[in-house]
Amino acid sequence: MMIKENQSLLTFNTFGIDVNARHFSEVFSPGDLKEVFESHPSASHPHLVLGGGSNILFTSDFPGLVIKVSLKGIEVVEENEREVLVKAAAGEDWDQFVSYCVLHGWGGLENLSQIPGQVGSSPIQNIGAYGAELKDCFESLEAWGKSSGQIRQFSAEACRFGYRDSIFKREARGKYVILSVSFRLGKKSHKLKLGYGAIQAEFQNRGISQPTIADVREVICSLRRSKLPDPHVTGNAGSFFKNPVVEQSVFELLKAEYPGLVAFPDKGGMKLAAGWLIEKAGWKGFREGDAGVHPRQALVLVNYGNANGLEIAALSEKIKDSVRKMFGVELETEVNII
């Protein structure tokens, strides 16, 4: 277990922000974690646990210790004819894990194909896409308590999953390092989630009437490639903002004024498409220096090369202000600004 000094984080975040960590360590086992925390107690050093860096915006050098989680391994815990319980270590690449499950014919994660990042971060914001969320197949996770030094198991209930939300973004924020996540996946009995309009349209175009799990993955990967910027080419962290949920009455007033407003029912209220609000407020394709709003997807802020985190954060604030002024709606940031 090595601790490096003044490590550049440029290749450790998908926004491509060039900052340094005062100290940096890559951990491969719970034993490494224990050692690193003992040598750098959080009372004297701020800590940041890092996965794939695809949901983070660095606005300055990090003054403490960055712990890059690299625990590996995929294990079948239980299996019968109908389903499988599979456990993946936190440092596994999320999409490689999804691909592994799809190749084995295990269904449940295929709609979450091609989301960047690692398995260990996936429960933190209950990743979701194309009509599915991580919580739909989640069984449990193991996490290392920073203050107790003990490993604790969290059930789905204990994780308190919500829309891009969990206990790890609230009461338990920064208190645990997730070590592994277990999923209960379907075999023959698995029911595909095909309700999302774009998936249906794509299957129609391709003339596929009885899609398999692998077909769903293939269609979603292709849809994502056509809609989202590749972080290897243009720095970004996916959706910068969450879709705001408003009361039905607020939605009706807005809909009367803006008939094109895109929204979906959500727990008694309406979830508004933040991308639509941002586009309508005139930001789609906006660029100032190297910080910008993606020309095809207004929810995605981008770094065209040399923007720094403060410039991107400042742009996000301008967007929030203008959406608030135009629609009276508050946008909440999804990306972790550090």
Ligand X SMILES: Cc1cc2nc3c(=O)[nH]c(=O)nc-3n(C[C@H](O)[C@H](O)[C@H](O)COP(=O)(O)OP(=O)(O)OC[C@H]3O[C@@H](n4cnc5c(N)ncnc54)[C@H](O)[C@@H]3O)c2cc1C
By annotation, the residues acting in catalysis are 164, 239, 334
- Binding flag, residue 131, ligand X (CB under 6 A): no
8 Å CB contact between 102 and 214: yes
Alpha-carbon span 75 to 179, nearest angstrom: 13
- Of the listed pieces 32-40, 174-182, 245-253, 322-330, which binds ligand X according to CB under 6 A? 174-182
Provide, rounded to whole angstroms, the least separation between the CB of residue 90 and ligand X: 4
Judged by CB under 6 A, the chain residues 221 through 240 that form the site for ligand X are 228, 231, 236-238
- Binding flag, residue 69, ligand X (CB under 6 A): yes
Provide, rounded to whole angstroms, the least separation between the CB of residue 305 and ligand X: 16
Q: Which of 54, 104, 56 lies closest to 84, judged by CA?
A: 104
Alpha-carbon span 331 to 338, nearest angstrom: 18
Judged by CB under 6 A, the chain residues 13 through 32 that form the site for ligand X are 14
| Count of residues interacting with ligand X (CB under 6 A) | 33
Query: And the tokens for 232?
Result: 């290897």
Provide, rounded to whole angstroms, the least separation between the CB of residue 48 and ligand X: 6
Number of helices followed by number of strands (H, E) in the chain: 8, 20
Provide, rounded to whole angstroms, the least separation between the CB of residue 37 and ligand X: 13
Phi, psi of 127 (to 5 degrees): -50, 145
Judged by CB under 6 A, the residue of 64, 105, 128, 131 near ligand X is 128
Mask for 42-61, x = binds ligand X (CB under 6 A) = ------xxxxxxxxx-----
By beta-carbon proximity to ligand X, the closer residue of 51 and 211 is 51
Which amino acid, 307? A
Judged by CB under 6 A, the residue of 17, 19, 115, 293 near ligand X is 115
- Of the listed pieces 112-120, 214-222, 272-280, 310-318, which binds ligand X according to CB under 6 A? 112-120
Give Cα separations from 41 to 6, 33, 76, 147, 318 (angstroms): 18, 11, 35, 9, 38
Pairing of strands 336-337, 56-57: parallel
- Binding flag, residue 101, ligand X (CB under 6 A): no
Query: And the tokens for 312?
Result: 């991107």
By beta-carbon proximity to ligand X, the closer residue of 94 and 251 is 94
Judged by CB under 6 A, the residue of 9, 88, 98, 124 near ligand X is 124
Alpha-carbon span 55 to 223, nearest angstrom: 20
- Of the listed pieces 118-126, 272-280, 283-291, 322-330, which binds ligand X according to CB under 6 A? 118-126
8 Å CB contact between 293 and 283: yes
Spatial neighbors of 122 by CB under 8 A, at least 6 apart, are 94, 112, 115, 134, 181
Provide, rounded to whole angstroms, the least separation between the CB of residue 298 and ligand X: 14
Phi, psi of 285 (to 5 degrees): 80, 0
8 Å CB contact between 106 and 86: yes
Judged by CB under 6 A, the chain residues 300 through 329 that form the site for ligand X are none
Binding site for ligand X (CB under 6 A): 14, 48-56, 69, 90, 115-118, 120-122, 124-125, 127-129, 176-178, 228, 231, 236-238, 336
